[in-house]
């Protein structure tokens, strides 16, 4: 996206005067203490749509370790979007069965948790295999929850 207009800000405490057709939050709000304030600020910036992707299901120890404050259900995510006056157009899950529960659960069994940093050769091979398996996930099901809402 060489022509994308990207901005960096603390979305819990800041907004922008500019407006954009689409404001996206991908795997972010579960890390924010004040998710409602963040969603409110995203809605203020959005000219048309807000897209939020986050993790659902049972909170794992590794997720706490990387700074998750919460996981969401689809109902909870929709309620929070509606609480900041956004109209939810659709919500979908992704990841069942190969990402979640399989990979999320198995990664908890690893001695050091999920791999972080540069991957070893064997970890890269496993990642390539998983990438192919992810293509077989059942459409619309899983713990990765994505919602599209409009102003």
* Nearest Cα to Cα of residue 46 among 18, 6, 19, 10: 19
pTM of the predicted model as reported, rounded to 2 decimal places? 0.89
Kindly tell me if the per-residue pLDDT of 141 is higher than 80. yes
Domains in the chain with CATH codes = 20-150 (3.40.50.150)
pLDDT at position 74 is 97
Residue among 49, 148, 38 nearest 91 (CA): 148
Calculate helix-pair angle for 74-83, 35-45, nearest 10 degrees. Answer: 60
What is the per-residue pLDDT for 110? 80
Q: Output phi, psi for 96, to 5 deg.
A: -90, 135
Share of the chain above pLDDT 70, in %: 100
Asked if residue 34 has pLDDT above 90, the reply is yes
Task: Please tell me the predicted confidence (pLDDT) of residue 62.
Answer: 85
pLDDT surpasses 90 at 11: yes
Neighbouring-strand partners of residue 134: none
Q: Compute the distance between CA of residue 25 and CA of residue 38 in angstroms, rounded to an integer.
A: 10
pLDDT digits (tens, 9 = 90+) for 82-126: 999 999 999 999 999 999 888 888 888 887 777 778 989 998 998
* Sheet with 87-94: strands ordered across: 20-26, 46-55, 144-150, 87-94
Percentage of residues in the chain having pLDDT higher than 90: 73
- What is the residue-averaged pLDDT of the chain? 93
């Amino acid at each position: 996206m060489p022509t994308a207009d990207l901005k960096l800000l603390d979305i819990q405490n800041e907004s922008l005067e500019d407006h954009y057709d689409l404001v996206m939050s991908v795997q972010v709000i579960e890390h924010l203490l004040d998710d409602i304030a963040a969603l409110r600020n995203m809605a203020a910036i959005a000219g048309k749509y807000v897209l939020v992707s986050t993790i659902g299901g049972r909170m794992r120890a590794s997720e706490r370790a990387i700074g998750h404050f919460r996981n969401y259900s689809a109902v909870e995510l929709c309620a929070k979007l509606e609480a900041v006056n956004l109209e939810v157009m659709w919500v979908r899950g992704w990841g069942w069965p190969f990402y979640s529960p399989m990979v999320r659960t198995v990664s908890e069994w690893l001695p050091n948790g999920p791999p972080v940093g540069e991957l070893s050769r064997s970890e890269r091979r496993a990642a390539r295999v998983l990438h192919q398996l992810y293509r077989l996930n059942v459409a619309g099901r899983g713990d990765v929850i994505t919602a599209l809402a409009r102003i």
